[in-house]
Chains A and B, each alone.
Chain A
Amino acid sequence: CICKYNYHIPYNYLIYLFRLYNHHASCTLLYKKTFVESFEETPLLVAVLTYMGYGILTIFGYLRDFLRDWKFEKCHLAREREEQKDFVPLYQDFENFYTRNLYMRIRDNWNRPICSVPGAKMDLVERVTPDYNWTFEHTGNVLKDVINMGSYNYLGFAENTGTCADAASECTVKYGVGVSSTRQEIGNLDKHKELEKLVARFLGVESSMAFGMGFATNSMNIPALTGKGGLILSDELNHVSLVLGARLSGSTIRVFKHNNMQNLEKLLRDAIVHGQPRTHRPWKKILILVEGIYSMEGSILRLPEVIALKKKYKAYLYLDEAHSIGALGPRGRGVVDYFGLDPSDVDIMMGTFTKSFGAAGGYIGGKKELIDYLCLHSHSAVHATSMSPPITQQIITSMKCIMGEDGTTLGQERLCQLSENTTYFRRRLHEMGFIIYGNNDSPVVPLMLYMPAKIGAFGREMLKRNIGTVVVGFPATPIIESRARFCVSAAHTREMLDKALNAISEVGDLLQLKYSRKNRHGSEGTDCFSFLESHQD
């Protein structure tokens, strides 16, 4: 692949190799600790079988569609009104083929209603379906104490007792739940100011701003930062909200391979050397969009290299810490803290309060000029209702707890517990012979299932054993890389993790999920090697 870019002049090729060599030399200097991330290759047989599975499902899908068309099979789909039959159809037939014929078979694995705190254990509403998942009925029973491996409750702040809940209650009594106005108009509460000062202190930045929804923090602020004539370099696995924000901004978007620094550097060089397409004017600015932890891969951003590149090429860095804030780093300050870097090297620090803080909303932190500008130009500040007071209070209390400002060491204990749980859980799964993606330190643990039939089977078998997991398939992942995903929490006790691990192992044997062909004990070396190989690609 090196030749692909530089085939015409051998001299260039040499320089490229030289740079590559230098790059690796400097890379190792950039990391203070071992950075082990593995994405074991899909076994060929499994890949072939997976494709076959999709093939069979598609053939049956067509057959079923045919039967439905000819009324041999009852069609459960809602229909257009009689009065509007001659309108242009709202959906193209092929648009919903996947939903109708694949998703519908295993729909019971998603949207499972819960009726308790989404903590380490949760209660699920029992559902039955009389018609193969087209509709669900609630039986009235409750599945008690299901171990929750699905919620993003990294630090276990999803609680209905304790200081956070008490503070939120108090706040509700005082303020009520709504605001009914925007920040710029008359919805700028003292609570919001308090939160923003705290967030800035927590992140180690000059100033910060909070927004009511994490998704909207991305989609409504990126357009304020860059526009026509700007270039956005976006990781291929970025969250939809980042992609939407980038699109709404009107800038040119180029995508680099996931966490691949060579690819990013090449795009940066090309962009600056060649300028804008057709006119060849220089770009106004270049914004790199990356995430701290990628929620579907469990990988951690190679931040030291990104910062080095960003400095070298004078680009700006937008770091989305939706999953990493609170969940990474010795002090819980996210991926910057994890690598021990300076937060001022990241131009825009974005994150959400939904996950580690057990609340809702998002923030942006950075230099004072940036936040002042956003105060005036953020779409959210002008047009969206501000954050609900009790939610704000929950964030303030949980953040203070993490920072140790509540006078206890509870926050620090949670951080340690999370990191311990993560290491333990990942190690055990690895030893059992599953293919696990991602970084050894990431609390997001994807376990590869590959085949579409196993998605549903895994989710159901785990629920039978009283464990709630998240399973994902296409289109959230590449078509053959369906997976289950576990989110480790500080609230999980060792017993819970062991129970979950035993169940996973049992189901793994049942469904033959232990695909890994690697040395299962002391396999760090091979991991490193395979990673480097993929890294050089």
Chain B
Amino acid sequence: MYFHYCGIPILIFFCERVKIYRRNNAISHNKLLFQCFYNRCSAPAYHLILEGILILWIIRLLFSKTYKLQERSDLTEKEKEELIEEWQPEPLVPLVSKDHPSLSYDVVTGPPSHRIIVNGKECINFASFNFLGLLDSERVKLKALSSLKKYGVGTCGPRGFYGTFDVHLELEERLAKFMRTEEAIIYSYGFATIASAIPAYSKRGDIVFVDEAACFSIQKGLQASRSFVKYFKHNDMEDLERLLKEQEIEDQKNPRKARVIRRFIVVEGLYINAADICPLPELVKLKYKYKVRIFLEESMSFGVLGEHGRGVTEHFGVNIDDIDLISANMENALASIGGFCCGRSFVIDHQRLSGQGYCFSASLPPMLASAAIEALNIMEEDPGNNIYIHKNKCILPSSLIYGGFCRTPGLKTVGEPLTPALHLQLENSTGSRTNDLKLLRAIVDYSLDRQIALTLARYLDKEERFLPPPSIRVVVTVEQTQEEMEKAAQCIREAAVKILK
């Protein structure tokens, strides 16, 4: 640090001198030193003293010790010991009351499939994201079993160190082909997919425009990237454009800096927290207008939207190459474990060395990769017959279930008719989140007693950037029959009438 301070006087000192002598005497370089000395002798005394003091001061600065502010405390060893003795840390974690409502999880006995046993009661599952009903598909199970026979269970290593199995490569190829992109990369944990992908590209100083309703894994990815985050109102393209314009003005002020700041828009295809679809065509327009890259999270929409289940790009007929990166997990529609990113090789390949959750974590167990391959097979083979898309077209918008929920007194349905996971919120909040949750929980319990398995949408109250209001999340899957859906709607209506009065 001190170098800056003493460097300046030295510089001024010499520059001044050289300038004066050059101007006055117009002498050559090698004579300069001698002249300098000679002039010094003939200079007035006060000048010499001043310069002498200056030189001494510089020498003092050069040789004085550096110190950190912290270490300058004049505490004696005894005082330090006392401080250490006195210090009392907070407890590691605050005490949780034993009767906290979320502490006792609902226990599922047996497989979490269409028929599910929750807390000992056999129910119809309206809570798991098993959209395509592949969780208990015999074909998937058989494929997983044969894989288990060949590879065992674990991979015992990250992808780099003998953790890459041929099935991983096959799955990546299949996913890329299915999504019609150049390349795909798989992660061993759905949550870690987008949370690792964002910081692989967006670094400190870069700007990310994010929808307020973005899910928690996106938020964690943004936090890890240490980028500058700008939130726009949920699905509000005008608000996004306002932010982009603001940034454009900012860029004009400092064009040199603007040339290296990367910009991204991060959105979800189908929002898990808001149950609606992002306006992708408008986003693509904005992308080219303002030269921002789009990252799209499709965990909820993959396998659900679009004719073949390719997600929101297919739903809108947007060219998939216009989206820079698509990520989704394989835990919902594919009913396996893990997640994947796909896009152009130019983008995706970078993650193979920079995606932290990819490089530094054990790879996906081969049997789970095989299960995902088989699930993809089923999706590809018969898109019009036994799969969600068919149902999606006929049943969901038919206002049967949707309308059924809408007419529930005291509850309002949040979400678009096309979405398979709707939120039921209280029409009139009691004013306290805890009480709201208690009321909703009572509805869930009422339904559980009547063979309908529902769940509250869970959030981390203090960590969420924008905490959604409390809700019950109702998931519709291919396996539910019309009767079952009617029964569920009926049951929720009854519960609402009874509990909400």
Contact = CB atoms under 8 A, between A and B. Distances in A.
B367 A177 contact: yes
B144 A160 contact: no
B337 A151 contact: no
Nearest to A79: B346
Interface string A156-193: 01111000110011001111111111111111111001
Given A186-B128, A314-B87, A391-B365, A373 B80 contact: no
Given A81-B321, A178-B337, A376 B153 contact: no
Contacts of B125: 186
A147 B330 CA distance: 33
Interface band, chain A: 35 or more
B141 A176 contact: yes
Given A78-B345, A90-B201, A178-B130, A282 B332 contact: no
Interface string A81-117: 1011011111110000001000100000011111111
Nearest to A268: B84
B152 A119 contact: yes
Interface residues of B, number: 124
B87 A272 contact: yes
Interface in A134-153: 148, 150-153
A175 B224 CA distance: 35
Nearest to B191: A384
B164 A112 contact: yes
A288 to B, nearest CB: 12
Given A172-B144, A215-B357, A152 B157 contact: yes
A253 interface: no
A289 to B, nearest CB: 13
B291 A87 contact: yes
Interface string A48-91: 00000000000000000000000000000011110110111111
A375 B104 CA distance: 9
Choose among B80, B89, B344 the residue with the greatest number of A CB atoms under 10 Å from its CB. B89
B162 A122 contact: yes
Nearest to A240: B360
A509 B220 CA distance: 49
Interface string B178-198: 000010000011111000000
B336 A103 contact: no
Nearest to B104: A375
Nearest to B116: A186
A284 interface: yes
A220 B191 contact: yes
B189 A183 contact: no
Given A185-B127, A360-B362, A213 B188 contact: yes
Interface in B238-283: 258-263
Contact of B111 (A113, A176, A360): A176
B89 A92 contact: no
Given A88-B259, A186-B112, A382 B188 contact: no
A181 B127 contact: yes
B231 interface: no
Contacts of A190: 107-110
Nearest to B333: A180
Contacts of B356: 215, 240-241, 244
A99 B220 contact: no
B89 A315 contact: yes
Interface in B68-85: 70-71, 73, 75, 77, 80, 83-84
B337 A187 contact: no
Contact of B89 (A110, A316, A385): A316
Contact of A81 (B65, B88, B135, B344): B344
A373 B166 contact: no
Contacts of B473: 185
Interface stretch (B8-16, B36-44, B91-99, B394-402): B91-99
Given A186-B127, A382-B458, A181 B112 contact: yes
B148 A172 contact: yes
A176 B136 contact: yes
A384 B152 contact: no
B313 interface: no
Contacts of B365: 359-360, 388, 391
B210 interface: no
B73 to A, nearest CB: 7
Nearest to A149: B162
Given A113-B166, A177-B337, A177-B368, A118 B157 contact: yes
A284 B90 contact: yes
B165 interface: yes
B376 to A, nearest CB: 14
Contact of A179 (B128, B161, B217): B128
A173 B111 CA distance: 10
Interface stretch (A20-28, A33-41, A331-339, A350-358): A350-358
A500 to B, nearest CB: 14
Given A269-B80, A377-B460, A388 B261 contact: no
B425 interface: no
A364 B64 CA distance: 50
Interface stretch (B53-61, B347-355, B378-386, B484-492): B347-355
B154 A388 contact: no
Interface in A265-295: 269-270, 272-274, 277, 282-286
A175 B137 CA distance: 10
A31 interface: no
A374 B105 CA distance: 13
Contact of B103 (A117, A176, A358, A372): A372
A247 interface: yes
A533 interface: no
A178 B371 CA distance: 9
A273 B83 contact: yes
A26 B360 CA distance: 37
A282 B162 contact: no
Given A117-B152, A188-B108, A111 B164 contact: yes
Nearest to B352: A111
Nearest to A354: B362
B220 to A, nearest CB: 7
A248 interface: yes
B499 interface: no
A375 B332 contact: no
Contacts of B75: 273
Contacts of A358: 152-154, 156
B154 A216 contact: no
Contacts of B71: 5
Contact of B189 (A81, A112, A213): A213
B34 interface: no
Given A372-B103, A391-B153, A177 B144 contact: yes
Contact of A113 (B135, B169, B216): B169
A271 to B, nearest CB: 9
B227 to A, nearest CB: 13
Contacts of A391: 153-154, 337, 365, 368
28 contacts: A88-B259, A114-B166, A115-B165, A150-B157, A151-B161, A157-B154, A158-B153, A172-B141, A175-B111, A176-B135, A178-B334, A179-B112, A182-B458, A184-B105, A212-B189, A247-B224, A314-B87, A315-B89, A348-B92, A359-B153, A360-B153, A369-B96, A373-B94, A375-B103, A376-B103, A383-B217, A384-B191, A391-B368
Given A117-B152, A277-B70, A315-B89, 15 more contacts: A15-B77, A78-B182, A86-B291, A118-B154, A165-B152, A180-B112, A180-B331, A190-B108, A215-B361, A269-B80, A274-B73, A360-B364, A370-B92, A375-B96, A376-B100
Interface of A: 5, 7-8, 11-12, 15, 78-81, 83-84, 86-92, 99, 103, 110-119, 122, 125, 148, 150-153, 157-160, 164-165, 168-169, 172-190, 193, 212-216, 220, 223, 225, 239-241, 244, 247-248, 269-270, 272-274, 277, 282-286, 313-316, 347-348, 352-355, 357-360, 369-370, 372-377, 379-380, 382-385, 388-391, 394, 468, 470
Q: Which 8 A-B pairs have the closest CB atoms?
A: A213-B189, A373-B93, A215-B361, A178-B335, A354-B362, A78-B346, A384-B191, A151-B156
